[in-house]
Amino acid sequence: MTKHVPTLAAHHLRWLLVSSTLLLIAGFVTPMMTLTKFLLFSNSFSLFSGIWQLLLDGKVILFLLIASFSIILPLAKIILLFTLLSPDTYHPEQRQKYLHLMHDYGRWAMLDVMVVAILIVTVKLGAIASIEVHSGLYIFGAAVLLIMFITQQVVSMQTNHNEN
């Protein structure tokens, strides 16, 4: 008989992961902030629109860097979490490989939040510009925190499973 992640706990975590995925996608497209320059010019943007503007402005390297850490890697982490929570993923070596990948990725997990924080601090420090934070930033932050919680739960379940 093959051992696997407890079904009920995995089921609850899958639903929580679906919710956090929806929050993350909403955080991508909901306006995060409005930048006002000289009290006359203002521009609201979401994560997607801000990254897209970088590409339109010819800042390709910055576009690739921020898109990778703020969109691609979080989505890859979600896919990896769904795979680990799947009842079809029974093979112990496969689970260990996924857990190792999750551990390696964990080092980069908060870089997306740090990028937004640096952006806010940089703009706040400017004497000629101000920034107003909108719900998109909170939604995105909540999704990232929820995914971190789910990751911790999955790793804990897998560790407990491996000890049994």
pLDDT tens-place values along the chain, 164 residues long: 344 446 778 889 999 999 999 999 999 999 988 877 777 777 888 989 988 988 998 989 988 888 888 888 888 889 988 888 887 766 767 777 877 777 676 666 656 666 666 555 555 555 667 778 899 988 988 898 898 888 888 888 877 766 65
Nearest Cα neighbor of 44 from 30, 62, 58 is 30
Nearest Cα neighbor of 146 from 16, 2, 6, 5 is 16
Domain count, the chain: 1
Question: Does 1 map to a domain?
Answer: no
Rounded alpha-carbon distances, angstroms, from residue 8 to 19, 87, 139:
17, 11, 27
The amino acid sitting at 57 is: D
Domain span at 104 = 7-34+42-163
pTM value? Answer: 0.78
Question: Does 2 map to a domain?
Answer: no
* Long-range pairs, 62-70, Cβ under 8 A, ≥24: 66/115, 69/108, 69/111, 69/112, 69/115, 70/112, 70/115, 70/116
Nearest Cα neighbor of 116 from 144, 78, 91 is 144
